[in-house]
Amino acid sequence: MDTFWEETIFQPLQELGRQAVASLSSLLGMVILIFLGLGVGWLAKELVCRALRLLRFDRLCDTLGVSQEIERLGIVRPCSYVAGQVVQGMIILTALLAGLNAMRSPWTQNLVERFFVYVPHLLAALVILVVGALVSRFLGRSVLIAAVNARMPSARLLSALARIFVMTLAVVATLDELGIGRTTIIVTFAILFGGLVTAGAIAFGLGARDLARDLLNSQFRPGPKPEVEDTLRHL
């Protein structure tokens, strides 16, 4: 009888208790890790912000055009603050993942494992996107200034095209890095570009010949040749 009680009642209850204690300790570990992450994250944010401000990081970002890009995203904060926030976010995320890992369930462990495998791709994608945005901005401005100085009526259009082209490349590369619709994107991109070139060729050669000529005339043809050529010696 005693054996029966022990096997059917006490042992399962003891097992349940052990599991509850183990789960509670894991949960407690997770909570501690998260709180630790929040604290360390806040501290790291403060340190990073102050260090970057001392190193005149905001001015560097202004020069490189990073501030303006961030502003365009609707974030009206200095770059040092944004960098601090990013560091804080990463630390909290890491703590959260470590906490989940502490739960020791196969599902959370699998999630954490997959996340850490994905992190390098995520960072690389972020870098590609940021560099792409900076290059597109720089190139766009170069084209704009050069086109205005060359008196091209379509300066803004050319500049926008340059920016769009670079950003498209950057987005394609980013998505490729993230492994999102890799084949689809490359095929779409190739079709789009191929299509554009083909459409252009057809427009020149066939149906829209006149339209293409008029459009190009209006956009790219410099104004009528001036009667008087400048012979200024500027220096």
Partner 1 sequence: MSEEILKERVKTELSDMGPVDILVGIPSYNNAATIGHVVQAAQAGLLRYFPNQRALIVNSDGGSKDGTPDVVEKSRLDTQALLISHTLHAVNRLTTPYHGIPGKGSAFRTIFQIAAEVGARACAVVDSDLRSITPEWFDLLLRPVLDRNFDYVAPYYKRHKYDGTITNSIVYPLTRALYGRRLRQPIGGEFGFSGRLALHFLARDVWTTDVARYGIDIWMTTTAIAENFRVCQSYLGAKIHDAKDPGADLSAMLTQVVGSVFSLMETYQDAWRNVLGSLPAPLFGFPFEVGLEPLPINIPRMVASFVQGCRDLRPVYEQILSPTLVSQLASCAAQPTESFCLPDELWVAVIYEYALAYRHHVIDREHLVKSLTPLYLGWVASFARLTENESALQVDERIERLCMVYEQLKSYLITRWPLGTPKER
Which parts of this chain interact with partner 1 (CB under 8 A)?
Answer: 59, 62-63, 65, 68, 138, 141-142, 144-149, 151, 153, 155-156, 223, 226-235
What's phi and psi for 206, nearest 5 deg? Answer: -120, -120
Q: Which is closer to partner 1, CB of 23 or CB of 68?
A: 68
Nearest Cα neighbor of 83 from 51, 106, 49, 115 is: 49
CA distances (Å), origin 101, targets 20, 24, 107, 114: 17, 14, 9, 12
Identify which of residues 14 and 142 has a Cβ nearer to partner 1 in the complex. Answer: 142
The residue (of 1 and 73) whose beta carbon lies closer to partner 1 is: 73
Rounded to the nearest whole angstrom, what is the least distance from the CB of residue 50 to partner 1 in the complex?
21
Q: What is the nearest approach in angstroms of partner 1 to the Cβ of residue 160?
A: 11
Q: Which is nearer to partner 1, 81 or 138 (CB)?
A: 138
Return the number of the residue (75 or 134) whose C-beta is nearest partner 1: 134
CA 10 from centroid of its chain's CA atoms: 56
Q: How far is the CB of 106 from partner 1 (least distance, A)?
A: 53
> From the CA atom positions of the chain, what is the Rg in Å?
30
Q: How far is the CB of 169 from partner 1 (least distance, A)?
A: 21
Rounded-to-integer distance, Cα 12 and Cα 87, Å: 46
Chain centroid to Cα 158, Å, comes to 25
Task: Find the angle CA(11)-CA(13)-CA(18) to the nearest 5 degrees.
Answer: 95
CA distances (Å), 15 to each of 6, 103, 105, 175, in order?
12, 18, 17, 48
CB closer to partner 1, 145 vs 192: 145
Q: Minimal distance in Å, beta carbon 172 to partner 1?
A: 26
Nearest approach, Cβ of residue 117 and partner 1 (Å): 38
Residue with tokens 């960098």: 83
What the block records as the tokens of 23 is: 């789960």
| Nearest approach, Cβ of residue 157 and partner 1 (Å) | 10
Tell me whether residue 1 or residue 54 sits nearer to partner 1 (CB atom): 54
Tokens of 73: 């995203």
8 Å CB contact between 57 and 66: no
